[in-house]
Amino acid sequence: MGLEWDQRKSAANLRKHGIGFADAATVLHDDYAITIPEEGPDEGRFVTTGMDALGRVLVVVYTWRENRVRIISARAATSRERRQYERTR
Write out pLDDT tens, residues 29-74.
999 999 999 976 777 899 999 999 999 999 999 999 989 999 999 9
All domains of the chain, ordered by start, with CATH? 2-88 (3.30.2310)
Kind and range of the H or E element at 10? helix 7-17
Region of residue 36 (left: phi > 0; alpha: psi -120 to 50; beta: else): beta
pTM of the predicted protein model: 0.92
> CA angle 45-26-38, nearest 5°?
15
> CA angle 27-58-25, nearest 5°?
30
